[in-house]
Amino acid sequence: MSVSGVLIRRMLRVEKHNEWTPPMGNALFFNVDSSTRGSPGEAGIGGALRDVTGQILLFFSSYLGVMDSCSDEVHAILKACQLVSSKRFLLMHHISIITYSKSIVEWIQGDDFSHLPVAHLVYDIRKFMHDMAGLEIMFKPRASNSLAVSLAKERSVNQGDRLQWRVL
């Protein structure tokens, strides 16, 4: 069994105890999260794109360097937007990017926000949402996001990037 297969199986065992619920119909859920060791501190992001059966279509984790916990969560959402836009077949689906950060969802959906260092990233995310019909950013409690949490924590302590698509 591959190393990534073992990692995903271990993360899914943790997730069984939490409340991940599948999307309905032709929709996909892209759970994202970030992890910072200190504020500011070493930061990582991660995410997993899943279909209605819970099948993982994609997972990623990336090391960001040193930053604060608000900035890294915005980076996680932006990375998910970039990955979704990179595959044409995904544009046929309604995709919800799910984060545990209610304030960042409010920044993206609102008219004003106070965290100026990431203003340009928020505007990039808004542009993705404008250009891709069926893309939304939504808040759910962290318990529903344990796979993304594990992927982000993995990168806050291990530099480098991981990206794996399931062969479709």
Task: Please confirm whether the linkage preceding 141 is cis (ω < 30° from 0).
Answer: no
Sheet holding 28-38, edge to edge: 135-139, 95-99, 28-38, 41-50, 56-67, 161-165
> Is 141 or 12 the better-scoring residue by pLDDT?
141
How many Cβ atoms sit within 10 Å of the Cβ of residue 156?
22
CATH number at residue 60: 3.30.420.10
Write out the residue range of the structural domain in which residue 141 sits.
3-165
pTM of the model as a whole: 0.83
- Under the banding of pLDDT at 50, 70 and 90, the label for residue 143 is low
pLDDT for residue 97 = 96
Q: pLDDT tens-digit profile of 109-118?
A: 887 767 778 8
Residue 27 structure tokens:
């929709």
- Under the banding of pLDDT at 50, 70 and 90, the label for residue 9 is low
How many Cβ atoms sit within 10 Å of the Cβ of residue 2?
8
Q: pLDDT tens-digit profile of 63-91?
A: 999 988 788 999 999 999 999 999 888 88
Rounded to whole angstroms, how far apart are CA atoms 67 and 2?
32
Tally of structural domains, the chain: 1
